[in-house]
Structure 1
């Protein structure tokens, strides 16, 4: 958590907005985990719950953004405090978008179930990447709570494994659809699901990058991974 400030009111405002961020993070974690469970079991009741809860995330994002603006206006923070508030705003945007991706998984799952084509494609890579996405999202939020740049750099490294699972699934899917054009429709549904999971990993990575920005004052977006690790470790 951030260091204490001379202004107890600033600390109170900051702790309040951070509590909302982590509440939102917990909801998104559940959304992603539920989306994967719905996919694995074609649970349409769970799909409906995901679609309802996604609207709650939209409202929470707007609420946190407004509170960050109010804190900046009232307290006029500088340096690390300002970077923290800016990163909080960007973090909730990434959380909301991760929730959007969970919604996409849920909607495609419902479509596959209703079409009666479940089980026609081997989706082992999708299952593995989904489990990885849940894990790194949780670890990104934990690193944010502790402002742990070393853990943040590890999240960025681990996201590459999700990307590789996605690429492997795409290669296999293209081969399968070429051999059997009858599976193209469901293949595209699973392709959208796999891409949504890959994007959840990207959003976790974005959150990890904000941690390095807060602590080190260095914008590490769009730089090579080796340079990002150098900044995170302070070498």
Structure 2
């Protein structure tokens, strides 16, 4: 290997290492957010204000990671002028960072509702919807991150399908809680906290779907942000 080839080899190794680093750090940030979502759900169900406050304290770390990792992506773009596939990876990571940060914000809102509900005196009734939807979107977050780690577009499609199921569960829970409020007006303040927590969990599911869409873009090079599930499935099947 001559000096020129050796230099190119070193540059390539540095570039690959930088790409691996930002991907790894993004997935680590995802693990933190996944724990925030699970802890926020647990805090709400148990009215554990200490755990809820811990969720909120974690938001500063998530915000700092988003800024730091996004800065690394910007530096790579500026210095390396990556080819198409590597460019897709960097852009996808940057977009996932934004979705993860917003998930952390929504987990914080669930935690806030837990604290307010504890101050109001507790859950107005059994709200297993929170536990069920919280577990569901938690699994979506985990699977979306796994799909990214594995570059698995079929797993990403499954996450998108789960988002539709969460939307249906959310609609059913909302109707049930509104009916409960109408039957017992004394419960309105408490039930509103439940409704807002459910809304935040539903939004976390939306962001998990966004990550799934970024995976499909990364793997297939196709923008499926406004595609329905059948169109997404066709894209995965037909794209090279």
Divergent runs of 4+, >4 A:
none
Q: TM-score, normalised by structure 1?
A: 0.95
In structure 1, stretches of 5+ residues that fail to align are none
Deviation of residue 6 (structure 1)?
8.1
Contact 2:110 2:197 in 1 (8 A): yes
Name the CA distance, whole Å, in 1 between partners of 2:36 and 2:237: 32
Q: Distance in 2 between matches of 1:173 and 1:215?
A: 41
Query: In structure 2, which of residues 113, 117, 121 is the aligned counterpart of residue 112 of structure 1?
Result: 117
- Matches for 1:106-145 after TM superposition, within 5 Å: 106-116=111-121, 118-145=122-149
Q: Structure 2 residue aligned with 1:209, among 213, 216, 221?
A: 213
Measure, in 2, the Cα distance between the counterparts of 1:73 and 1:42: 47
Q: Is the 1:156–1:205 Cα contact (8 Å) retained in structure 2?
A: yes
Take 1:6 and 1:218, find their aligned partners in 2: how far apart are those partners?
Answer: 29
| Residue in 2 that maps onto 1:102 | 107
Q: What is the 5 A alignment of 1:70-219? A: 70-116=75-121, 118-219=122-223
- Which residue in 1 is equivalent to 2:52? 47
Deviations 1:152-187 (A, max 9, x none): 000000111111111001111111111121111111
What does the per-residue CA deviation read over 1:123-155, in whole Å, with 9 as the maximum and x for residues that have no partner?
Answer: 122211110011010000000001100000000
Structure 1 residues 78-108: Cα deviation after superposition (integer angstroms, max 9, x where no partner): 2111111111001011001101111000001
Shift, 1:35, TM fit: 0.5
Q: How many residue pairs get matched?
A: 230
Shift of residue 48, structure 1, vs aligned partner: 1.3
Residues in 1 aligned to 2:126 and 2:53: alpha-carbon distance in whole angstroms: 25
The match for 1:8 is 13
Question: Taking structure 2 as the reference length, what is the TM-score of the superposition?
Answer: 0.93
Query: Greater Rg, structure 1 or structure 2?
Result: 2
Aligned-residue RMSD, C-alpha = 1.3
Q: Distance in 2 between matches of 1:98 and 1:89?
A: 15
Counterparts of 1:122 and 1:168 in 2: how far apart (Å)? 15
